[in-house]
Structure 1
């Protein structure tokens, strides 16, 4: 049994007890008993409607997700019924009871009874209805028995109940907001930790590849004191190129691209690869196609220098520039032998 079910049972029992006090006529006189028999069931029906509404979901339906401030709030017509009961029940009871008996418990139960109803209304997220109904019973009681008797016979307690319910609901709403914010912060922290873990794994992979690429030639360099043969110097330059590729453009690399880069360098081509962003939102199948096209371009390149750059442009993913001569500047347009652009794959529409 849920907490809400237990609280609802307690509310049903308590309001039934308050209503039952209206039949304890010993020690007083009721001039119109039929009125009592009409208004007491009316009070119980409306009160229990507010208690039981939405307690059990419809058959076959999943329970609704609780939303702060909108947890199965009753409709407007139910609020009108509650206010109607707050107006009708006290006035009907005080009218039906003999004037000398209006301060007896079987008459003044209406103060606590309507106070309990308005406390339930407040808990069900209708604060305006609750305060209007409480004001209605307060005015009616004061008019029938006077201010001081009304205050001493339950009006103060009813006001305290409703006010405490409003403070409690405000505290619960604040706690729900804080819990939701904490959950969002925890999710953000988890995402950040996952991102950092991914970057650490990527760095470890890059370090391992760097050691695999440069480790042997570095060991040979140390062993010979830098006196490498021509073939070993070529391997050193190739190892340096592989290391730069892994650090500067890892998203453009696969086994085929790595092989074509090494072949180009063995042909005497100086290759510079720069990943300057722009590939973050491209799916892996599209990256595979970009790498395949890059490998084809590298296979047929014959320029002295190749510059491979990723592009953040909306239409271009990668730009490959082939240059001749020794100039490092890009102002000499005559030295540009190759200019190829790999188009950015079209993103699927949302």
Structure 2
């Protein structure tokens, strides 16, 4: 329920209860104790308006996975106050007027007035309190003006008002929950569509990069029917390596890193770049620092094999390992001649640079 609708209904409730109270002031019969009569009217207005406005701001609630707004339940002390007013107001009104005037409209206003009060209590999500008040009102009115007169002059109407309020409140809550669930579904659908659109854009970028990297080599291969010169074969090898980098580790790449990888391959190194997780949720600023450090780590690297991998460790972002044969014999066991760990924290990166 929007704020404007809630404010409009509150104003309507105030006007209606004030109208009922004014009707009680139109005395068409003898009032033996006007002070008590007026005090009952004042108590009625205070109690009713307190139940309308006290902590009436909506609260956020969760129905399943849907978030919805509902008015706050009436505080317990206010419920006790409303029940006390329900018990006092009818008896005080009929006690203050002459016995012959107890069936006059200005004396029976309490049936409608207290019925409106209990309807407000029901709307404020206190159904047990509201129905207890209906029972109290029926008992008091039957004692003062008789059961038949109580039923014909407003007790039934009060019960109907409270029951209707309970039904409408339940329907409104159900509608609000359905609306919140539909909103949640729509939000998820929008997120899914946005993610799909992002993936499509990323695929288009990857295709464009692949065409830019491998397109000239493939064109030359087709034109020469596969008969490439040694230089062209080297270019094809470099293009293949760059394309693998774009597919396997795009978050590790910028222009500087790409240039260093290209230089390492030019020197004869076999470079493997793998993004195996660990950079999820890392900000773009942090990625830029990591890429800068990676480019510096690859400066002049001449290992036979260079492995660049993201790390799942909470403190290490990227590991760079270089392995080479110590001699000319290819059968010799490789040794590690390059080792860099790039941490997540910028302070640790600065310490390594120093």
**TM bucket, shorter chain:** 0.7 to 0.9
1:15-55 per-residue CA deviation (whole Å, 9 max, x = no partner) reads 344334445555x6655555434423332343344445579
1-structure distance, mates of 2:58, 2:110: 36
Counterpart of 1:40 in structure 2 is 41
Unaligned runs of 5+ in 1: 56-63, 326-331
Q: Give runs of aligned pairs for residues 10-159 of structure 1, distance below 5 A.
A: 10-23=12-25, 26=28, 32=33, 34-51=35-52, 67=60, 68-71=69-72, 75-99=75-99, 101-159=101-159
1:237-294 per-residue CA deviation (whole Å, 9 max, x = no partner) reads 1111111111111111111211111111111111121111111222222222222232
8 Å CA contact 2:58–2:70 kept in 1: the answer is: no
1:49-85 per-residue CA deviation (whole Å, 9 max, x = no partner) reads 4445579xxxxxxxx66544444x6555543432222
Counterpart of 2:294 in structure 1 is 294
2-structure distance, mates of 1:15, 1:289: 68
Q: Does 1:335 align with 2:337?
A: no
* TM-score with structure 2 setting the length: 0.81
2-structure distance, mates of 1:297, 1:10: 74
Unaligned runs of 5+ in 2: 61-68, 326-330, 348-354
How many residue pairs match? The answer is 332
2-structure distance, mates of 1:174, 1:15: 28
1-structure distance, mates of 2:296, 2:24: 94
8 Å CA contact 1:273–1:308 kept in 2: the answer is: yes
8 Å CA contact 1:293–1:342 kept in 2: the answer is: no
SS at match of 2:339: strand
SS at match of 1:105: coil
Counterpart of 2:162 in structure 1 is 162
Q: Does 1:346 align with 2:345?
A: yes
8 Å CA contact 2:269–2:302 kept in 1: the answer is: yes
1:172 to 1:207, Cα distance in 2 relative to 1, 3 A: same
SS at match of 1:280: coil
Counterpart of 2:182 in structure 1 is 182
1:9 to 1:287, Cα distance in 2 relative to 1, 3 A: closer
8 Å CA contact 2:271–2:305 kept in 1: the answer is: yes
Counterpart of 2:216 in structure 1 is 216
Counterpart of 2:64 in structure 1 is none
Q: 1:103 offset after TM fit, Å?
A: 3.8
1:196-247 per-residue CA deviation (whole Å, 9 max, x = no partner) reads 2222222211111111111111101000100111111111111111111111
8 Å CA contact 1:270–1:306 kept in 2: the answer is: yes
2-structure distance, mates of 1:17, 1:105: 13
2-structure distance, mates of 1:87, 1:201: 70
1:338 to 1:187, Cα distance in 2 relative to 1, 3 A: farther
Larger displacement relative to structure 2 (125-134 or 246-255): 125-134
8 Å CA contact 1:305–1:324 kept in 2: the answer is: yes
8 Å CA contact 1:257–1:295 kept in 2: the answer is: yes
RMSD of Structure 2 on Structure 1 (CA): 3.0
